Amino acid sequence: MAEAGPGGSPGHGTEADGHRQASGTEHRAAPPSFRRYSAEISRPQCEAPPVLTQTTSRVLEPSDLDAALAILDREPVANAFVTSRVQMAGLDPWRLGGEMWGWYEDGMLTSLCYAGANLVPICATPRAVRAFADRARRAGRRCSSVVGPAEPTSQLWRLLEPSWGPAREVRGHQPLMVTDRASTAVAPDPYVRRIRKDEMDTIMPACVAMFTEEVGISPMAGDGGLLYQARVAELVGSGRSFARLDADGKVVFKAEIGAATDRACQIQGVWVAPEYRGRGLAAPGMAAVLRYALADVAPVVSLYVNDFNTAARRTYRRVGFQEVGAFMSVLF
């Protein structure tokens, strides 16, 4: 699934030239070559070993890592956000930034749910969703969002809303878009480049503006932005923050490669400065970031976008992305 943008809200900030339009674009079926990437129809790659002899849920432990990775590997694109975290941190809650819940059917681990800054159902069957909802209700809400593939996330929210609601906003259909090649229809912007570590003061205002515009709250609230700045610095330090600057050194376009595994990565935080919107910067900028992603990070690149943002969806299709599924986000 999608990577959390700097500050914890997955995949937000995918505005092409900043335009928000009412949804009206028909959701087209993905060609067969992309169906293997879909969060809704991808098939298991391997099975997890037996652990329990009953049907139950529990908090996974570090010793469950291989079984958890086998579940995550079933949908490498949809699960990229959680997979990237687990690969780096394992299943220790302190290092992972939250607990990983597991659902067992007749002793087999079949579904997961990441419970950290985001609550994320993973390969979750209806029975697993009910178990995860029960556990979440008992624990109380600690997350800033519920996010994941649309069907299980919708089921999870229906069960949680009576005790957790109302949400600040529910985005019920966010198309998941994927590509494994760059389009020849849009030339990459040659002025889009990696942001250097000594340019944190340059990129940070643009990141804050993107997050505030997209999510509706400032990432600088609460802890003064310490966690958000740390996440931005992590992306810059890893060479996954990109921007085009104007003659005065101001960011006019930016995007990041957020979650990344050896099988898939996710573009996030796409933003064009308000005064530069409508000038056609988004498509060439995205083409440039996509080129970097495919060349340096992973063979498949994804993103997800609000369904009402028809301008962004057109832009992403122009540079080669195709819709293969849908996510849902519940924001608190």
Same domain, yes or no: 205 and 149: no
Contact 267, 255 (CB under 8 A): yes
Residues 64, 67, 68, CA angle at the centre, nearest 5°? 80
- Span 53-97, pLDDT tens digits: 567 999 999 999 999 999 999 999 999 999 999 999 999 999 999
Q: Is the pLDDT of residue 27 over 50?
A: no
Inside any domain, residue 144: yes
- The closest alpha carbon to 10, from 171, 159, 245, 226, belongs to 171
Inside any domain, residue 25: no
Same domain, yes or no: 128 and 92: yes
Of 115, 149, 174, the residue at which a domain comes to its end is: 174
Of 118, 139, 174, the residue at which a domain comes to its end is: 174
Instruction: Give the structural domain span for 57.
Output: 38-174
Percent of the chain surpassing pLDDT 90:
80
Same domain, yes or no: 142 and 169: yes
Residues 280, 286, 287, CA angle at the centre, nearest 5°? 100
Same domain, yes or no: 69 and 160: yes
Those residues whose C-beta lies under 8 Å from the C-beta of residue 164, and which sit 6 or more positions away, are 136, 137, 141, 332
**pTM of the predicted model as reported, rounded to 2 decimal places:** 0.83
Contact 12, 217 (CB under 8 A): no
Same domain, yes or no: 221 and 157: no
- Span 4-16, pLDDT tens digits: 343 344 444 444 4
Same domain, yes or no: 145 and 71: yes
Give whole-number Cα distances, 60 to 111, 152, 158, 239, in Å: 11, 20, 25, 32
What integer pLDDT is reported at residue 296 of this predicted model? 97
What integer pLDDT is reported at residue 229 of this predicted model? 94
Same domain, yes or no: 156 and 276: no
What integer pLDDT is reported at residue 52 of this predicted model? 52
Q: Is the pLDDT of residue 49 over 50?
A: no
Inside any domain, residue 292: yes
- The closest alpha carbon to 245, from 316, 194, 318, belongs to 194
Q: Which residue has the tokens 């997800």?
A: 304
Residue 218: which H helix or E strand, with range?
Answer: none
- Span 140-167, pLDDT tens digits: 999 999 999 999 999 999 999 999 989 9
- Span 159-201, pLDDT tens digits: 999 999 899 999 999 999 999 999 999 999 999 999 999 999 9
Summarize the confidence of residues 35-52 as an average pLDDT: 44
Tell me how many domains the chain contains: 2
Give whole-number Cα distances, 15 to 11, 63, 88, 314, in Å: 11, 41, 29, 11
Q: Which ranges in the chain belong to alpha helices (H)?
A: 32-35, 65-72, 80-89, 93-96, 126-139, 150-164, 200-215, 226-237, 282-296, 310-318
Length of the chain in residues, anyone?
332
Inside any domain, residue 31: no
- The closest alpha carbon to 304, from 183, 172, 212, belongs to 172
Give dist(CA 83, CA 77) in Å, integer: 9
Look up the CATH number of the domain holding residue 199.
3.40.630.30
What integer pLDDT is reported at residue 8 of this predicted model? 41
Same domain, yes or no: 222 and 95: no
Contact 82, 73 (CB under 8 A): no
Same domain, yes or no: 258 and 294: yes
Those residues whose C-beta lies under 8 Å from the C-beta of residue 10, and which sit 6 or more positions away, are 1, 2, 3, 4, 81, 118, 120, 145, 147, 268, 304, 327, 329
User: 85 versus 1: which is more confidently predicted?
Assistant: 85
Look up the CATH number of the domain holding residue 165.
3.40.630
Same domain, yes or no: 250 and 194: yes
Of 130, 147, 174, the residue at which a domain comes to its end is: 174
Give dist(CA 158, CA 154) in Å, integer: 6
Contact 102, 112 (CB under 8 A): yes
Same domain, yes or no: 270 and 198: yes
- Span 219-263, pLDDT tens digits: 998 788 899 999 999 999 999 999 999 999 999 999 999 999 999
What integer pLDDT is reported at residue 53 of this predicted model? 53
What integer pLDDT is reported at residue 41 of this predicted model? 36
